[in-house]
Each structure stands twice: as structure tokens, then as C-alpha cells.
Amino acid sequence: MSYQTINPASGEVLQSFPDIADAALEAVLATAQSAYEVWRHKSYAERAKIIGKAAELMAAQVETFAHTMTLEMGKRISEARGEVEFSSRILAYYAKNAEKFLAPVKLHPTRGEAHMESSPIGVIFCVEPWNFPYYQLARVAGPHLMAGNTMVVKHSSNVPRCALAFEKLLLDAGAPKGLYTNLFVSHAQTDKIIEDVRIKGVALTGSVEAGRIIAAGAGKAVKISSMELGGADAFIVLDDADLEHAVKWAVWGRMYNAGQTCCASKRFIVVESMADKFLDAFKTALSALKAGDPLDEATSLGPLSSEPALLTLLEQVKVATKHGATIALGGKRIQRPGSYMEPTILTHVTKDNPAFRDEFFGPVAMFFRVKDEDAAIALANDSDFGLGGSVFTADVARGKRVASRVETGMMFINNIDWTDPELPFGGIKDSGYGRELGDMGIQEFVNKKLVRFVKLDAPV
């Protein structure tokens, strides 16, 4: 059984699911294609009736969805509720705005008239991760279904109940069979799906390694793709920053979802004059977090999503220290049932240390002290990733200047608040390509067709 629900707070195996048989997979793809031939001709209002209803149902069942998520991947219950509510807002956002986003755009050629119109392209294959089990699905389902496409989705193997719950949500909202189908598929079957002529686009959120494999398959098959991969976001603290405010965001930025977020703050870059004070306050704040049952409202530190995730992090820390890094805080497994790790801070991470280029997907922060603003920007840009980042300063104009110079897809000034359906999400470099959410998110898998009329005689 490759798809399993294992409670990371206890290690207990709760349920297993078999991979789909090849014959059943063929039936799913055929049904998705048939559904597309009908769905593509539905009006935006008809599509919005179903997607909007799904948003309403999700908002009405926050506790049920959140509880399933917490049991499967260990997200603290308050954070799980927030994700469910955000996912509902995303669905509602696209139900309301899709027609406006995809409306014909008038062009102004020197002669005649022209416009661009948007149309769906077919069945989209999405491969999604475990760290945000519903949000990752909502941010592809909302736009791409409202655009007129249909979807087949491979969710992560450790959140099968969440995958089934989201599929049921759409069916309960009145979605026709084949509009959105969850797939428990193997890696070999994934390759076949990408190659299948009925698949017209591929979207992945995941690791760089997974991105290389999926993007290569899509490229070989000449399929359009979008890739939202990892990150090593810089958290820059300048000499005029509000220290208390910055530290609060530092804790949230590193520890939200137990640090298992692509756009989490991972490299804390602090100018020399603030470095000691920031590090002391950061250590104190992280030390105050208490491990516990993620279903308990009082818990401030939940488990990692799985035992392999914990072991990977512990090994990364071990390698980092072997190459000269210093553990300023934590660094160990918490001795209790489940996959818990101490909040950890690494200092003295030099450029020849493997950790300097790594992404730590969990509660491990790297701390760097720099001479000044220019040095902070240079260090922020010295990364293979380019997803997000933040800068803390009392001068908003200064913050905007720094944000413009940092090479990422997203920058935040005095906050790290990306939880808004209107805000496009995505990065550059090894963090991938394409954008999700906002008006850009719905443009990824549509045909942008030029239509021109001009009264002209053919050249002779």
C-alpha cells in the first residue's frame, strides 16, 4: 500500500489505500475527457454555481476538514482551520471573478480590429503535496475548473483522506463525474498520464527533484506546465527595524505549519547592529514553544508530517555541523511519541557548507549577520531558490527599494502575509515557474487566441 494515513503525532497507521489499476485509470481519463467536452461549453455562471457551492460547503464544514488534515499530516488544529477557510475563499474568489479575468481583451492594431480571447485546453493533470492538503488543491481547482478545463489529480501519498474529502466536496456541490478526479497512482502510472494525449497541461507543487522529473516529462510530451517548487526565503532585518515586531514575524515565518512551507522564512539575515539582540530574542521565543497533540488548542509545536521528514531534517543538521555550522538552539528529536523536532537555529553556515544551498523543510533556521543593507541583499540573492522573502525596516520606501533588488517571485515588507486569493504566488530560479492565485493563476492553462479582422487585399 503506497497511500497511507499515518498519524504523525503518534506513528499509528490509520488506513491504507491501494493504487488504482491500469484499466480503472484508463476509464478515469476517458471520463475526464468526456466531461471536458461538455464542461467547456458551460457558461461561467453555470460553472460558478458548482464551484461557489463547493466554497459554501467547505466553509460550513471547517471542523470536519480540519480534523482530517490534523490527523493525517499533523498540522495544529488552529492552523488547519485557517487553511480550510482560506481554501473556501479561493474557490469563492474564482467563482466570482473568472469571467472577468478571462474576458476578451481588445487590441489596437494599426489597421482593422483585433482581440484576444481565452478558452480552455482540456484535461489538466495536477501533482500536489501534503503540506497544505486542501489549499494546494483549491488553488488549482478554483481557477482551472472555472476556466472550463477538467482535472485529474495525484495528491501526496500521506494525505489520502484529504484527497478523497476534496473530491467528495466537489461531487457534493454538483460536479459532474469526471470534472475533478482524485487518483491513487504509482510513479510509473504518473509518467503514463503525462504522456497521454488527452492530458493537455501539467501542474506540480513539490520538490526541485520532483519538478525536474515532471517538467522533463511534460516537455518531452510538449505539454504546457507550471512548477511551484522549493524555497529558501530570506528574512532581512535592517538596522531601523522594530525588533519586537520582526521577532514575532520570524517565529511565525519559520514555525508556521511546523516550518513545512515552501515560502517559509529560512535564512535570517540581520545587519550587525541588530544581530545579537535579534538572535537572543529569537532563541527565547522559539524556546517557549511546547510540543503537544496538534488537536489540542494549547499546543504551540506540532509534529513534522512524517517520520521520514523528521529523519531527513536531523540528517541535514548533522551534515551542516560536520561542515562547521554551530547549533545555537535545538537540533535534536524531541523524546516523545510521534515525529517531533526541537526548534533549531544554525549559525556560522559558510558558503562551502552544503546547508548554505539546502532547503530545510521543517523547524530549522539559518542565522547570518551582515555588515549592511547591500550585504544583506547580496546574501539574499546568493541562493539557488527564488520563491519569496521579506524585509523589516521602519522606512517603507527603503523596504520597497530592497524588495525590488531581491531576486524572488514575492517580497513582503514588515510582514509575510501571502494568504490572500488576490495575490499571485510563485517564484523564479529553482523555485519554479508560472503563477497560481490572483488574476494570473487562471491564465496558466487557457488558450490565448488572437482574432483579427481587417479589410485588405492579399499582397502580390
pLDDT in tens, 10-38: 999 999 999 999 999 999 999 999 999 99
Q: Would you give the DSSP letter of residue 436? A: B
| Class for the domain spanning 3-229+431-451 | alpha beta
Q: Which is the catalytic residue, given 228, 342, 359, 444? A: 228
Q: What percent of the chain has pLDDT over 70?
A: 100
What pLDDT does 1 receive?
A: 52
Select from 233, 319, 326, 243 the least CA-distant residue to 284: 243
What are the b/e assignments for 24-57, b being 16+ CB within 10 Å?
Answer: ebeebbebbbebbeebbeeebeebbebbbbbbeb
In the three-class reduction of DSSP (H, G, I as helix; E, B as strand; rest coil), residue 401 is classed as: helix
Q: Is 228 a catalytic residue?
A: yes
Answer left, alpha or beta for residue 437, where phi above 0 means left and psi between -120 and 50 means alpha: left
pLDDT in tens, 40-70: 999 999 999 999 999 999 999 999 999 999 9
pLDDT in tens, 275-313: 999 999 999 999 999 999 999 999 999 999 999 999 999
Q: Is the pTM of this model over 0.95?
A: yes
Please return the burial class of 343, using the count of CB atoms within 10 Å of its CB with bins 0-12, 13-18 and 19+: buried
Q: Would you give the DSSP letter of residue 282? A: H
Triad 249, 350, 367: Cα angle to 5°: 15
- Expressed in angstroms, the distance from the first to the final Cα of the chain is 68
Kindly report the three-state secondary structure assignment for every residue of 77-109. Answer: HHHHHHHHHHHHHHHHHHHHHHHHHCCCEEECC
Q: What percent of the chain has pLDDT over 90?
A: 99
pLDDT in tens, 379-433: 999 999 999 999 999 999 999 999 999 999 999 999 999 889 999 999 999 999 9
pLDDT in tens, 175-225: 999 999 999 999 999 999 999 999 999 999 999 999 999 999 999 999 999
Residue 432 backbone dihedrals phi, psi, to 5 degrees:
105, -160
Mean pLDDT computed over 85-89: 98
Q: Which is the catalytic residue, given 72, 79, 83, 262? A: 262
For 233-413, CATH number out of 3.40.50.1820, 2.40.50.140, 3.30.565.10, 3.40.309.10 equals 3.40.309.10
- What is the rounded average pLDDT for all residues in the chain? 97
Report domain extents, the chain: 3-229+431-451, 233-413
Please return the burial class of 2, using the count of CB atoms within 10 Å of its CB with bins 0-12, 13-18 and 19+: middle
